[in-house]
Structure 1
Amino acid sequence: MHSPTLRSIALVGALVAVIHANTAFVNAAPDDLPPHPSPSSKCYCQPTDPCWPNDATWSALNTAVGGRLIPTKPAAYECHDPHYDAAKCQEIQKGYHFDYWRHKQPGAVEQTNWEVFNYRSCRGFNQTEPCYQGAVPLYSVNVTNVQDVQHAVRFAAKNNIRLVIKNTGHDYLGRSIGVSSLNVWVHHLKKIALDDNFVPEGAPRRTPGQGAIILDPGVIWQEAYAAANEHNVTVVGGAHPTVGTSGGYCQGGGHSPLSPRHGLCVDNVLQYKVVTADGQLRVANAYKNKDLFWALRGGGGSTFGVIVEAVYKTHPAITEFSYAGYRIGFNGTEARRKVYTSFLSQQLAWGAAGYSGYSYFQLEGLMFYYMFPGVGSTVVNSTMSAFLKEIASIPNITIEGEAVSAGSFWEAFGPLVTNNTEPTSGSNTILGSRLIPKANFEDAAGISQLVDVMMEAQDDLGKLMGPAGATVLGHLVAGGQVSKGNSRETSVLPAWRKALFHVVVAAFWPDTAHPGAPQYMGEKITATTQRFRDISPGSGAYFNEADPNEPDWQEAFFGSNYPRLRAIKRKLDPRGVFVCHNCVGSEDWNKELTCRL
């Protein structure tokens, strides 16, 4: 049996052999790498640069992290020649379009357009199509403890290599992937604890304790909700069950089905433990590292450090909970306008009552799933009746759905849990979004204007992708307690405090599309999103579900908080160990995020 050191050398040697023998795999050929001047401290090292770490250096890192340095391959690697393996490819095809499978692959993210670099990638199942590394990291550290994170961060800083962080890869801005990078893969850190009397470190004596859930960075919301339910408490988290709890979701703001009742995720953070750019483990809360704590609550993920523990406030269990799911069918432009107008006219009152929900505005229908914490189905039916009665008189209208009582948030959350038989990821996706202020819902003129813009956006999307793609997504996740939060205490975009509705548009395209499709689709989504920007001056966009080509992104994502965030970034990470697309400080870097400007 080989010693750990020999196994480490063998592992790294095998990868280096692949690098030299198959440049298509690692995408390290000179014409594939971003152009930049001769290697210098202004640019991250690339595999073809003299500064790239040698075999012994990589082997030392592998030894330091217990042999868990992974040569990282694209998810579809074994489906392409010359690496084709029929049995492995069959398994890849079974999981390729499912998020639970992609989370387990260090080289996969949910939106595959982010796996492309210089028009090259390794996607799909065409055996004869070349397989390039693209933007997939060259190495991943399968983290099992805080020390592994520290080793990875220090290695990247010392050797001038780009560092990325991945739990699930559930990200619409490509922040968990990067060309020629080292990936800190935290997916297997799964500890969950609940504390009824949590007191932040450094708090004064006699500071009263409060209920809290303590989460490792690999935990997803489905797991956190189940644990909270067993403890008879609730916690503010994401609507998608496989979103990570501790990464970009909360650091970017974090809207939730419970936000109108309990605020955004950032409003519920009690403490973080984070490895910063110098490799140090720091505690950030209201008493220690206050600037860092402020920045982590709204300044975005992959920017200020690697979260290794998040502590969130818990709330008493909601013992009476209802939800309603409906599909309203209609024909014609006038009927569509009437249904949209009636539905949007309800949002101000529903948000004020602490209700929340998700809606799909389609050409021939409106679908929505709403949650009603603290009320029974009788109250929900009464709430729904005014809206349903108003639209029932529209010719050829169809109404399907019901209101259901649930014993807890966890029970109501069940219908939102993705069925593993339905594909949910592994596609090319780009979003655009806007936070629509409450003021737009306060009179008939504002609602009429919003309906006009929604229908114009549907026309745009229909021309781009056909009728099936002409969908606008609505989220009632603001108002209520979100409006009462104080953005001076967190770095979240201040526009959240005046918002009521979060609107999203999306474009999709196949892997076989023209290489220019991503740019073309991106331009169209930016233009469509501009319609919503025009009716909401002074508002902004939810960072985690935004247009990657957002104009004036500093203002749109961070607002008046940006200057302070940028100053904290410069202080904590002057060398740029953490860099990501449209993240704080990224304007100092080129488009490929490989060289400082």
Structure 2
Amino acid sequence: MRRRRLVQLAAATPFATPWGLLAPARAAATAGRVRPGDPDWPSDAQWQRLGERLGGDALVKVQSPFTPCLEAPAGPACTQFFNAVRNPYFLGDEIGLTQTLGWVGAWTSSPSVHAVAARSTADVAAAIDFAREHRLRLVVKGGGHSYQGTSSAPDSLLVWTRRMNQVLLHDDFVGKGCEGRAAPVRAVSVGAGAVWAHVYDAVTSRGGGYVQGGGCMTVGVAGLVQSGGFGSFSKAYGLASGSLLEAEVVTADGRVRIANACSEPELFWGLKGGGGGSLGVVTRLTLKVHALPESFGAVNLTIKASSAPAFRRLVGLIVDFYAAALHNPHWGEQIRLRPDNTLRVAMVFQGLSRAEAQAVWKPFLDAVDAAPEAFETEYSPLRIVSTSARDFWSPTLFKRMFGFISTDDRPGAPAGNVFWPGDQRQAGQVLHGYQSAWLPAALLQPERRSALCDALFAASRHWGVSLHVNKGLAGAPAEALAAARDTAMNPAVLDAFALAIGGADGPPAFPGVAGHEPDAALAQRQAAAIGGAFDELRRLVPQPGSYLSESNYFEPDWQRSFWGGNYPRLLAAKERYDPDGLFFVHHGVGSERWSADGFTRKA
């Protein structure tokens, strides 16, 4: 009865109503959480008993990796540390670090007091039981790629799934309880701590199949799927969460549940785009494996316009060309518009040969070449390339020679530890500002296209804007759209041709470390410039949706922005599976019931 009434209230409540009023806080949870030094903080003996339950070295007392730099900023240990954080695999293997070191004015990477370095689902359940019984702030980290800082919190207990990284292929998978109700499919089961580079190696390089995952190879599998999950080829294969067949998850009561379309279907739906760390701790995911195309390829172009009016003309050319030739499942990744009147194309393609891709781009390149007084193209013999799809994520000699792929440079590092060079800038970054907005495909219609180009040009006068065309599903196949529609993602993604992104960051830094302090003044200026750019886009699209994993930390209307009309249903799932709010992340489902740090329950 309570849940039925909750859904009735949600359906009748407009977006302007505070979401926290939809489900009252439970009286049993009003005491909040405890910190070190509080009378109710677990004793040494209680921590010891947890360690005994886990066995081995699973319980870790975390030491801050920044201590050597705070003690001796100019010392060799600190120099070595700031060099090391440029390696995403180093960051991922350090229990006290996150891939992003902070966001100026928002959060700073802070190690937990204790961590459970989980090796099994039983270890995760033990950590959850301990956190619930002792009212601890709980944090979950797999790959650690969270711009919002959700895999880091001081005074907390961390569940670290990095060791749970098994990858297992299935020829004929059927979800638990779905026998006789679903056809067997090729699939891959992945531990929560795995990263996409290792999954692509198993599924594509060695297995000859395709799994829809992330574009950045060091992103954690579990976090990406729970956020919805875009990859370079999402225009063809849809969301990563749309390919989810089954998840093993430990909920707030310590129970291990199997969630799929036949068992725990509401939990299953919420895990598909409802955001990581809100409904439970995922320990294993099983994803559909798709047929692999013969080849993948890439297009890389840089075109400089001679003036602002010429650049507005160039914006019109690329938008017209995109609408006519690229708005389909073959194409993904980015078209970037910069304040210095530069257009940068960094796109990928599938289902086409190199010759076919060259033929697609010929009309646009001819139009640019026909106006040498207005446009200067940076020439490269490798501006349109292709490779065997099976080798796309492999560190082949060709890709290493031409700098198309990078490897983990630590002695003894596994050969499969690879990443795209363009993603290395993110390793250890400190964010200054970030915003995103889905742009509806209706803007590509001839009668609205000029207004779109005007808005993009106006935005580029403030800050660079990237159109991530693989992160909007308009133009995708019907099957991919149907799978995405059955997720918790904001439905705006279904009708969007691109996700517009503007971001700014600084090098690895940490407050209090002389010579490595974040530049707060620069961050403030850059955040304001990004805001100006997106104000221009919001004049065209007043209330755009935003992708929660790549969004503004300070998003004011985040429930609507991230989930749209799906938020009431997600809040109902939260009430069902985590009524006392054990799981808390910034701007996660139900987080409006808690203080910003997640320690105090609001009345």
| Fold-level similarity (TM above 0.5) | yes
Cross-structure match for 2:349: 372
Deviations 1:568-597 (A, max 9, x none): 101110111110111111111112222111
Change in CA separation of 1:412 and 1:592 when aligned onto 2, cut-off 3 Å: closer
**Partner residue in 2 for 1:548:** 553
Higher RCO, 1 vs 2 (CA within 8 Å, ≥6 residues apart): 2
User: Where do residues 144-183 of structure 1 align in structure 2 (5 Å cutoff)?
Assistant: 144-183=119-158
Q: Which residue of 2 aligns with 1:125?
A: none
The aligned length equals 533
1:105 lines up with 2:80 in the alignment:
no
Note if 1:476 corresponds to 2:451. no
**Runs of at least 5 residues in structure 2 that lack an aligned partner in the other structure:** 1-27, 406-418, 510-516
> Structure 1 residue 336 and structure 2 residue 317: aligned?
no
1:436 is displaced (CA, Å) by 0.7
Q: CA deviation at 1:218?
A: 1.3
CA distance in 2, matches of 1:70, 1:115: 29
Aligned partner letter, 2:218: T
SS in 2 for 1:172: coil
> TM-score scaled to structure 1, two decimals?
0.83
For structure 1, which runs of at least 5 residues remain unmatched after alignment? 1-38, 122-133, 462-470
d(CA) in 2 for partners of 1:212, 1:191: 14
Structure 1 position 55 matched with structure 2 position 44: yes
For residue 390 of structure 1, what is the aligned residue in structure 2?
367
In structure 1, how many angstroms separate the alpha carbons of the residues matched to 2:105 and 2:111? Answer: 8
Task: Specify which of 487, 497, 515 is matched with residue 490 of structure 1.
Answer: 487
Aligned residue in 2 for 1:418: 420
Opposite residue 552 of structure 1, the aligned amino acid is D
Question: What is the CA distance between 1:529 and its match in structure 2?
Answer: 2.6
Q: Report Cα offsets for 1:299-349 as digits up to 9, x if no partner.
A: 111111111111111111211333222222232112222222211223334
Q: Verify the 8 A CA contact 1:436 1:503 in the aligned structure 2.
A: yes
Q: CA RMSD in A?
A: 2.6
Contact 1:526 1:549 in 2 (8 A): no
Question: What are the superposed Cα offsets for residues 122-181 of structure 1, whole Å, 9 maximum, x if unpaired?
Answer: xxxxxxxxxxxx743222111111111111111111111111111121111111111211
Give runs of aligned pairs for residues 124-203 of structure 1, distance below 5 A. 135-203=110-178
CA deviation map 1:28-63 (0-9, x unaligned): xxxxxxxxxxx9843210113211111111122222
The secondary structure found in structure 1 opposite 2:193 is coil
CA contact (8 A) 1:263 1:481 kept: yes
**Identity across matched positions, percent:** 27
Query: Match for 1:208 among 178, 183, 186?
Result: 183
Residue 595 of structure 2 corresponds to 590
Please point out which of 429, 434, 437 is paired with 1:434.
437
User: Could you tell me which residue of structure 2 aligns to residue 576 of structure 1?
Assistant: 581
Other-structure match for 1:314: 289
Write the letter of the residue equivalent to 1:431.
Y
Deviations 1:337-374 (A, max 9, x none): 22222112233341324321223222242222222211
**Equivalent-residue separation in structure 1 for 2:506 and 2:332 (angstroms):** 31
Distance 2:347 2:462 in 1: 27
Matched, 1:245 2:221: yes
Instruction: Say whether 1:506 aligns with 2:485.
Output: no
Structure 1, residues 224-243: CA drift from partner, whole Å, max 9, x if none?
Answer: 11111211101111111111
Give the match's secondary structure for 2:222. Answer: coil
| Aligned residue among 405, 417, 423 for 2:386 | 405
**1:522 Cα deviation after fit:** 5.0
- Change in Cα spacing, 1:412 to 1:105, as seen in structure 2 (3 Å) is closer
Rate the CA distance shift 1:146–1:369 in 2: closer, same or farther, 3 A.
Answer: same
Q: Name the counterpart of 1:563.
A: 568
Q: Does 1:453 align with 2:455?
A: yes
Of the structure 1 ranges 365-374 and 562-571, higher mean CA displacement relative to structure 2 is found in 365-374
Amino acid of the residue matched to residue 48 of structure 1? G
Deviates more, 1:522-531 or 1:374-383: 522-531
- Superimposed CA distance per residue, residues 432-469 of structure 1 (whole angstroms, 9 cap, x where no aligned partner): 000111111122x53333333333333333xxxxxxxx
Amino acid at match of 1:427: Q
Code of the aligned partner of 1:168: G
1:198-277 equivalences in 2 (<5 Å): 198-205=173-180, 207-229=182-204, 230-247=206-223, 249-277=224-252
CA distance in 1, matches of 2:292, 2:518: 48
Alignment of 1:70 onto 2:60: yes
CA distance in 2, matches of 1:581, 1:158: 23
> Is the contact made by 2:97 and 2:111 (CA closer than 8 Å) also made in structure 1?
yes
SS for the counterpart of 2:386 is strand
State whether residues 263 and 485 of structure 1, in contact with CA within 8 Å, keep that contact through their aligned partners in structure 2. Answer: no
- Aligned CA distance change for structure 1 residues 236 and 487 (closer, same or farther; 3 Å): closer
Aligned to 1:30: none
TM-superposed deviation, 1:400: 2.4
Structure 2 vs 1, CA of residues 343 and 526 (structure 1 numbering), >3 Å: closer, same or farther? same
Q: Which residue is 2:539 aligned to? A: 534
312-321 or 572-581: which moved more? 312-321
Equivalent AA in structure 2 for residue 70 of structure 1:
V
Helix, strand or coil: the match of 1:506? strand
Q: Retained in 2: the 8 A contact 1:173–1:581?
A: yes
SS of residue paired to 1:53: coil
* Counterpart Cα distance in 2 of 1:172 and 1:515: 17
Q: Measure how far apart 1:488 and its partner are.
A: 4.9
